[in-house]
Each structure stands twice: as C-alpha cells, then as structure tokens.
Amino acid sequence: MKPNALIIRTAGINCDKETEFAFNSAGAKTDLKHISYVKEKSKLSDYQIICIPGGFSYGDDLGAGKIFSLELLCWLKDQLKAFIEKGGLILGICNGFQVLVKTGILPDLDFKQKVTLTDNDSDRFEDRWVYLKVVSENIWLKGLPEMINLPIAHGEGKFYTERSILDKIESKSQVALRYVDSSLNPAGYPFNPNGSLNDIAGITDASGRVLGVMPHPERNMFEHHSPFWREEKVVPFGRVFFENAVDYFM
C-alpha cells in the first residue's frame, strides 16, 4: 500500500506543486490541501506523512512562518500531537521548517517555541547551492553520503537559540545537516549562507521522524537540477529524502 502524504499549503506558499511531485515520484499517494480545507474537513489520522512546503506563508508579515504556525496551534494541535505519537512522519522545508519551530513541534513536541530562524547575517535574500554535511542517519537521511549539495533560497534562515537549548540539541544528536565547504570543513559566508549557530541547516525531533530543513530537497530530484551536471557525475540527493519517507511505510 502506498503511504498517504498530506501537503499543507496556504497563501504565499510557492513550493507546494514541486513537493507534491517529489512525493508522487517517490511512490506516495499525495493530497495537496489548503489549510482552511484541512482544519475543516481533513483528518490527520488518515495520513502517514505530513509536509509543510517552502514559500512565504502570508508574506512572512509577522515573521517567517508565524501566522501559519498560529493556525496549526489553534486548529490542529491535538491532531498533530496524536499524529506524531502514532508514528507519523513530518517534513518542514524552508518556510515549513520555520513553521515547525514556531509551533514548538521542533525541537521538542511540547508546543513551546525554543529556537527560531531569523534574518540572514547578510541582511539579504540568499539563493544559491550549498554543501551540507549529513550529521545523523535518521529516517529521512538514510543512505545519503557524508556530504551532499542542495539549493537554498531564503531571507530568514539563521538558526538561533539560547546556548543551553543549543547544547541540548547537540547532545541529543538532533542536528541533521550542517553547512560546510567543499572539503567538509566548517566555514563562514557564503558556505554558511545565513550565519546559523553551529552551521545548523536542519534538525529533527528526538525520534528522528520530524525533520526541518532550510535547503530544498524537492529542487534536486533530477541530475540536471544540479548546476554541476554538465561538468561531473551528480546524484539527485533530494530524491532520497522522499524515497526514504515512502520506504519507511512499505
């Protein structure tokens, strides 16, 4: 049986179709629904995978992902908690990552915001391909090599939190991806495009089933998506994220 994947969109989300294509390509049965439809007619218990895709929900007018996160907390909090506790997978990409941290689903499922993704140190929108170190082999990242490359496109991607929270995330191995240079070394701008603490590009919850990432795996589904495809053999690393999610339920 194909797992059911729910992709939730709202005003300003602009990567929903690409994300739907990615899950379909990986073998999932997908539903792309507006948040208004979801809160009135959908049951999250009907799905195995939920994804909040990238974009600029509600124009990021009160901060990236803030209004979307409030909708989830007001209307779907109990369903989300039950969904995660029953073993469902959640992926937040870029704006979706911002939503997950502002709902308090990441880093802990307590619905209390402990971390944020704030303005890039460059004080401008960054749109480039980055090198990433795969730090933990969780459900989503299974089988990936130590270094991958994916595109980023964001203005508020700097991972920031209190030192005590950062130390806890590190100690519990919840860091999923770090920005690095082409030799896997920690590096400053532009390799770390936003100034994230500890070069963090993505984190998981303690179980590894909930993943938030600033890079866009749905934009690396084919070899020719890579800017290096004419010069060298490349691997569409983004495809692996979605295939792993589907394989988890097969």
Q: Do 89 and 49 contact (CB within 8 A), yes or no?
A: yes
What whole-number distance in Å separates Cα of residue 57 and Cα of residue 166? 26
Give the pLDDT confidence score for residue 48 in this predicted structure.
98
Cα 115 to Cα 16, 158, 162, distances in angstroms: 25, 10, 8
Q: Which residues contact 156 (CB under 8 A, 6 or more apart)?
A: 60, 63, 64, 98, 117, 118, 119, 120
Catalytic residue among 71, 126, 156, 218: 218
Give the pLDDT confidence score for residue 133 in this predicted structure.
98
- Tokens found for residue 78: 């109990």
Q: Do 147 and 141 contact (CB within 8 A), yes or no?
A: no
What whole-number distance in Å separates Cα of residue 208 and Cα of residue 174? 7
Amino acid present at 168:
K
Cα 212 to Cα 12, 140, 235, 239, distances in angstroms: 19, 10, 22, 16
Among 139, 108, 85, 116, smallest CA distance to 205 is for 108
15 in active site: no
Strands 49-52 and 126-134: unpaired
218 in active site: yes
Catalytic residue among 51, 94, 154, 243: 94
Residues counted in the chain: 250
Catalytic residue among 51, 71, 216, 225: 216
- Give the bridge partners for 56, in sequence order: none
Give the pLDDT confidence score for residue 228 in this predicted structure.
87
Q: Do 220 and 227 contact (CB within 8 A), yes or no?
A: no
216 in active site: yes
Q: What is the mean pLDDT of each run of 10 residues along the chain (250 residues)?
A: 96 98 98 97 96 96 94 97 97 98 97 97 97 95 97 98 98 98 96 98 97 98 92 92 97
User: Does residue 236 have a cis bond before it (omega within 30 degrees)?
Assistant: no
Q: Enumerate domains of the chain plus CATH numbers.
A: 4-247 (3.40.50.880)
Model confidence, pTM: 0.97
Element containing residue 238 per DSSP (H, E): helix 237-247
Sheet of 210-213: strand order equals 29-34, 4-9, 49-52, 89-93, 210-213, 200-204, 175-180, 126-134, 147-154
Q: Give the position of tokens 């240079």.
A: 181
Q: Do 118 and 160 contact (CB within 8 A), yes or no?
A: yes
What whole-number distance in Å separates Cα of residue 54 and Cα of residue 9? 9
